[in-house]
Amino acid sequence: MSIDTRSYTPAQIGSWWEYVVDSVIYDLSASTQRRIDSSRSYMRWEIMEESSDDSYRLLVSRRSSLEEDWSAVSNWRITRDQGRYTRQEGNIALLLWPEPLQATSTWSATDLLDPSLELIIAGEPIQPYDRWDSRVGESPASISSPAGSFTDLLSIELVEQDFLIEYRDVTEIYARDVGLVWQQQSILDTQCRAVGDGDITLCNDVTWTDKAERGWTLTTTLIDFSL
């Protein structure tokens, strides 16, 4: 039986969603010294126009505190076309899910991307998008945020993989008649230089937050919206 994905992704001109974004960036500042930078910022999505059936321009604005004014930084696009629901984030196109979507559906969220695409994080290159195997996740019974408590949820696991030197975990949770309410990203690499002097086997039982030497974690939580 197909999932009614449209009810989890309401879209009309003028709708907006505001999020708090908590991020941590990992970097190896010296041969064996890790540097960890944490920050909090705010992000706003607003649907500005519809260019064609089921394709909308999403104005992305940011600010570093609640007291600041919003500053527009980018235009994204959400599109439902050719059996795919996608979000174009600048030059990053993510296949959020195929349609019709079923509980047993599997796909690759990065199917539209070059898997060798590199991003520069803290001055270091990282390849976040290789080998993303995606599926419908097990949705929690409820989720609470500053925007309210939501119970009718759709969880999408865009990737969940733990290799010896790479960890990729990206999950998005949508609420019916609301949209995206929570997103978590962990894109982490290690060569075990800080913990095991380069001996990968010494990192097997070390948590990723303790051994990550490159990459980021990011948690995005809905704090307000208007449809």
List the chain residues with pLDDT less than 70. Answer: none
- Counting the structural domains of the chain, the total is 1
What does the pLDDT read at residue 120?
A: 93
What does the pLDDT read at residue 29?
A: 79
Q: Could you list the residue range(s) of the whole structural domain that residue 45 is in?
A: 2-226
What does the pLDDT read at residue 52?
A: 78
CATH number at residue 163: 2.40.360
**Alpha-carbon gap, residue 147 to 225, rounded angstroms:** 7
**Alpha-carbon gap, residue 155 to 145, rounded angstroms:** 16
What does the pLDDT read at residue 226?
A: 98
pTM of the model: 0.95
Whole-Å CA distances, 29 to 25, 36, 137, 188: 12, 9, 36, 15
What does the pLDDT read at residue 33?
A: 87
